[in-house]
Amino acid sequence: MSRFWSPLVHGLTPYVPGEQSNDDGLIKLNTNENPYGPSPAVLAAIRAAVTDTLRLYPDPHAEALRRTLAAHHGVDPEQVFVGNGSDEVLAHTFQGLLKHPAPLLFPDLTYSFYPTYCRLFGIDFRQVPVDAAMQVRVADYRQECGAIILPNPNAPTSIALSPAAIEGLVHDHAEQVVVIDEAYVDFGAESVVPLVSRHPNLLVIQTLSKARSLAGLRVGFAIGQRPLIEALERVKNSFNSYPLDRLALAGAAAAYADQAWFEETRGRIIASRDRLRAALLELGFEVPASLTNFLFARHPLHEGPGLAAKLRERAILVRNFRQPRITDHLRITVGTDAQCDRLLTALRELV
């Protein structure tokens, strides 16, 4: 019944997420979820929020959560914007800050939601190729543009830029907004939130989905100087005045209160990642040093789609992207040591 569609819908190519399966026998190493559950304090806070007050709307301004995030990052609450996962924050950012006459710049190998949002919101864009080592070259962004967005560390390549490199980029484009998407920053990279105070054109976006183990709760946020945050608020309040429900507000605040849990689980993932990378290198894979909770691996003697399919037959899910330059790469989420061992056992049989 597509004859009822708006003209916009006919031209959309929706984002395709990684496979989600209800089969408990599968090892899911394909969607970069945290293998460890959220802090028990988070679960307790959510249970405590399940009261008669659910009949009432939540705080539309998320004041308590914004204060928590601001204190953690050393900024003012008025410099914090929250939304339903970083994807919603990104959507508001694309609408409110990234649509200009000149094109938006982002890497050719990056989060595939970026071109999807551009098409949805009618934003002209230009993809800047990463180099042969899969790294973003800041010098390549010294060109005419309306704005820039970069994941740091980049996904799916897992490689990060230094804060100094990002500050150079922000300085070079003082008249354009530069958005740094830090979804994976907690696994070894350095956040550029401290740069916000001296750069009015810098917006930093983070999520609780990865390092805080809350992919199922959907909480993300942005930090920037007040004019950028106000733009996001104007978009949000023209779309959904109550983006975060009471349970999400309670659970997100509790996640930042239990720093010890965060440090412990993050440390375990980093240790497992480095151990898994060393084993993959021994098997002949090419694997860049990662600062994320995943590895981006390619075996020179095996095609990526075939390897992914054979792993699927062995009840192990990894992500393979059918796109130029990386069709033979596998993006492998770092699971528990037991899950990584299962993966390595299968790969030893296959390669």
Paired with 28 in beta bridges are 317
pTM of the predicted model over 0.75: yes
Token pair for residue 175? 């008249």
- Say whether both 90 and 174 belong to one domain: yes
Quick one: average pLDDT of 72-85?
A: 98
The confidence score (pLDDT) of residue 16 equals: 79
Pairing of strands 177-181, 202-207: parallel
d(CA 258, CA 208): 13
Q: Report the CATH number at residue 54.
A: 3.40.640.10
Quick one: average pLDDT of 228-244?
A: 96
- Say whether both 252 and 268 belong to one domain: no
- Say whether both 248 and 118 belong to one domain: yes
* Length of the chain (residues): 351
Phi, psi of 227 (to 5 degrees): -60, -35
- Say whether both 63 and 207 belong to one domain: yes
pLDDT single digits (tens) 166-224: 999 999 999 999 999 999 999 999 999 999 999 999 999 999 999 999 999 999 999 99
Helix (H, G, I), strand (E, B) or coil at 180: strand
The angle that helices 85-97 and 226-236 make with each other, rounded to 10 degrees, is 100
Buried b (16+ CB within 10 A) or exposed e, 182-215: bbbbbbbbbbbbebbeebebbbbbbbbbbbbbbb
Say how many CA atoms lie within 13 Å of 311 toward its Cβ. 29
Paired with 333 in beta bridges are 294
The confidence score (pLDDT) of residue 75 equals: 98
- Say whether both 94 and 241 belong to one domain: yes
The confidence score (pLDDT) of residue 15 equals: 80
Nearest Cα residue to 235 out of 100, 106, 350, 88: 88
- Say whether both 245 and 298 belong to one domain: no
Single out the residue in 258, 276, 295 at which a domain terminates.
258
Q: How many folded domains does the chain comprise?
A: 2
- The runs of H, that is alpha helices, within the chain are 7-10, 40-49, 63-73, 85-97, 113-121, 163-172, 226-236, 246-257, 259-282, 304-313, 337-350
pLDDT single digits (tens) 37-78: 999 999 999 999 999 999 999 999 999 999 999 999 999 999
d(CA 170, CA 309): 42
- Say whether both 267 and 133 belong to one domain: no
- Say whether both 182 and 99 belong to one domain: yes
Share of the chain above pLDDT 90, in %: 92
Paired with 18 in beta bridges are none
- Say whether both 77 and 222 belong to one domain: yes
pLDDT single digits (tens) 261-288: 999 999 999 999 999 999 999 999 999 9
Q: Report the CATH number at residue 333.
A: 3.90.1150.10
**Res. 1: pLDDT tops 70:** no
Nearest Cα residue to 69 out of 252, 198, 265: 252
Single out the residue in 258, 277, 305 at which a domain terminates.
258
d(CA 124, CA 106): 11
Residue range of the domain that includes 63? 40-258
**Res. 21: pLDDT tops 90:** no
Going from the C-alpha of 144 to that of each of 100, 125, 175, 196, 198, the distances in angstroms are: 12, 11, 11, 23, 23
pLDDT single digits (tens) 322-337: 888 999 999 999 999 9
Helix (H, G, I), strand (E, B) or coil at 316: strand
Q: pLDDT category, 18, cuts 50, 70, 90?
A: confident
The residue ranking higher by pLDDT, 18 or 140, is 140
**Res. 35: pLDDT tops 90:** yes
- Say whether both 253 and 264 belong to one domain: no
Single out the residue in 241, 258, 275 at which a domain terminates.
258
Quick one: average pLDDT of 87-101?
A: 97
Phi, psi of 170 (to 5 degrees): -65, -40
The confidence score (pLDDT) of residue 8 equals: 87
pLDDT single digits (tens) 127-139: 999 999 999 999 9
